[in-house]
């Protein structure tokens, strides 16, 4: 699949549910209204739809949410997708999770063919963790990370840099990831969806500032390593682990974008920070033959914009797009 700007699209991120068992202050409101269950694609429909993308050239799938592991019977879908790994039509199946369910599912994830996961973790302080997630239990997540490592899963930690909340802990997170043999990616807060009384302008911490502070203690060596995502990586010389920077606000990374995002209701978003999208649920349900569905996916690719327009400042303090990250598939 080639977009209008000549970029090869071979990476699909899929939100299998918009629901989550946490309410992180930068992601959603405390009192969320989730999508009606009748609108959600069945696991069988998701399996067929993802198979169509793989037939068109998607080589990497990342399952996201919300929290993907809270979806009932989600392991059925993950195990079904594993057949594409076995056949060689899919290079990688990965997962982004908040870690709360990992102790339960880690061994099954590895058995299904998943080898790498991203775990969202914004602090190592239990009190602050509860404040950021609104009711989360840090020990539950750390136990999940330990179970995932025991199962053989490679783990990368994702941390959203939050001004005035965890900015003094990022140095400790780098050290902890070094001790635990984990890579780490830092992420700027993204202006998506309403989050209640919280202000993203107050939360926004430029990673250029974070990096400058980190370099007072750590030696950050440039590397040409690239994942299939938007992070730009360095290697922390003292620990040997990678440290990535995802900077949608201070450095637009759209020139190399190879991704599209599918929601759990079958809407395909061509860009995280734009509203360009296409309904794939209708052609999916219109016929048992995939011809119409494949045509709809090809047509949707022509809508992919050159890049997003994220910005946060006093003139633009609100959400750049109305949908929440949990809907889009972060």
| Parallel/antiparallel/unpaired status of strands 232-236 and 220-222 | antiparallel
Helices (H), 222-266: none
Please tell me the least confidently modeled range out of 245-249, 303-307, 319-323: 319-323
Which of 151, 69, 63, 149 lies closest to 110, judged by CA?
A: 151
pLDDT class of 259 with cuts at 50, 70, 90: confident
Helix H or strand E encompassing 81: helix 74-87
**pLDDT value of position 144:** 98
Rg, C-alpha atoms of the chain: 19
Which of 308, 318, 301, 324 lies closest to 3, judged by CA?
A: 301
- Whose tokens are 């198979």? That residue is 51
pLDDT class of 26 with cuts at 50, 70, 90: confident
- The H helix count followed by the E strand count for the chain is 11, 12
Phi/psi for 302 (5° steps) reads -70, -10
| Termini Cα distance of the chain | 21
One-letter-per-residue 3-state SS of 271-304: CCCCCCEEECHHHHHHCCCCHHHHHHHHHHHCCC
Could you tell me if 280 and 262 are in contact, meaning their C-beta atoms sit under 8 angstroms apart? yes
Could you tell me if 127 and 120 are in contact, meaning their C-beta atoms sit under 8 angstroms apart? no
Helix H or strand E encompassing 145: helix 138-151
Domain boundaries, the chain: 11-328
Q: Residue 321 gets which letter from DSSP?
A: B
Tens digits of per-residue pLDDT, 77-110? Answer: 999 999 999 999 999 999 999 999 999 999 999 9
Is the per-residue pLDDT at 305 higher than 70?
Answer: yes
The residues near 194 (Cβ < 8 Å, ≥ 6 apart) are: 29, 318, 319, 322, 324
Structure tokens at 19: 């629901």
Which of 154, 183, 7, 44 lies closest to 94, judged by CA?
A: 154
Which of 128, 122, 88 lies closest to 205, judged by CA?
A: 122
Which of 178, 176, 181 lies closest to 149, judged by CA?
A: 181
d(CA 233, CA 236): 10
pLDDT class of 297 with cuts at 50, 70, 90: very high
Exposure class string for 220-247: b at 16+ Cβ within 10 A, else e:
beeeeeebbbbbbbbbbeebebbbbbbb
**pLDDT value of position 257:** 80
Please tell me the least confidently modeled range out of 57-66, 68-77, 189-198: 189-198
Is the per-residue pLDDT at 321 higher than 80?
Answer: no
Could you tell me if 280 and 296 are in contact, meaning their C-beta atoms sit under 8 angstroms apart? yes
Please tell me the least confidently modeled range out of 53-67, 180-194, 219-233: 180-194
d(CA 162, CA 274): 23
Q: Which CATH number, 3.40.1640.10, 3.40.1390.10, 3.20.20.70, 3.40.50.2020, labels domain 11-328?
A: 3.20.20.70
Tens digits of per-residue pLDDT, 190-239? Answer: 765 454 555 666 788 999 999 999 999 999 999 998 876 778 999 999 99
For range 268-282, the mean pLDDT: 86
- Whose tokens are 């840090």? That residue is 138
**pLDDT value of position 313:** 46
In this structure, the chain runs to a length of: 330
Which of 54, 40, 47, 52 lies closest to 10, judged by CA?
A: 54
**pLDDT value of position 316:** 47
**pLDDT value of position 195:** 46
Which of 278, 254, 226, 326 lies closest to 53, judged by CA?
A: 278
């Amino acid at each position: 699949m080639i977009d209008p700007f000549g970029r090869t699209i071979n990476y699909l991120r899929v939100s299998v549910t918009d629901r989550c068992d946490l309410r992180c202050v930068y992601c959603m409101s405390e009192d969320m209204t989730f999508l009606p269950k009748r609108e959600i694609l069945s696991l069988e429909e998701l399996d067929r739809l993802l198979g169509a993308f793989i037939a068109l050239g998607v080589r990497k799938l990342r399952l996201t949410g919300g929290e993907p592991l809270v979806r009932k019977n989600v392991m059925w879908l993950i195990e079904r997708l594993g057949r594409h790994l076995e056949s060689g039509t899919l290079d990688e199946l990965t997962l982004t999770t908040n870690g709360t369910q990992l102790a339960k599912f880690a061994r099954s994830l590895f058995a299904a063919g998943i080898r790498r996961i991203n775990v969202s973790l914004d602090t190592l302080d239990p009190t602050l963790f509860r404040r950021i997630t609104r009711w989360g239990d840090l020990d539950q997540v750390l136990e999940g990370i330990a179970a995932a490592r025991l199962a053989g899963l490679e783990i990368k930690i994702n941390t959203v840099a939050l001004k005035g909340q965890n900015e003094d802990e990022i140095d400790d997170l780098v050290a902890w990831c070094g001790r635990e043999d984990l890579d780490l990616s830092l992420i700027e807060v993204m202006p998506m969806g309403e989050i209640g009384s919280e202000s993203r302008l107050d939360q926004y911490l430029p990673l250029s500032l974070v990096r400058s502070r980190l370099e007072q203690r750590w030696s950050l060596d440039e590397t040409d390593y690239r994942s299939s995502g938007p992070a730009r990586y360095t290697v922390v010389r003292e620990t040997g682990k990678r440290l990535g920077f995802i900077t949608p606000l201070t450095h637009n990374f759209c020139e190399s974008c190879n991704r599209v995002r599918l929601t759990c209701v079958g809407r395909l978003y061509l860009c995280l920070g734009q509203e360009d999208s296409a309904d794939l649920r209708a052609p999916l349900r219109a016929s048992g033959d995939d011809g119409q569905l494949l045509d709809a996916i090809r047509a949707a690719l022509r809508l992919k914009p050159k890049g997003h327009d994220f910005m946060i400042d006093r003139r633009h303090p609100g959400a750049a797009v109305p949908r929440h990250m949990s809907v889009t598939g972060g």
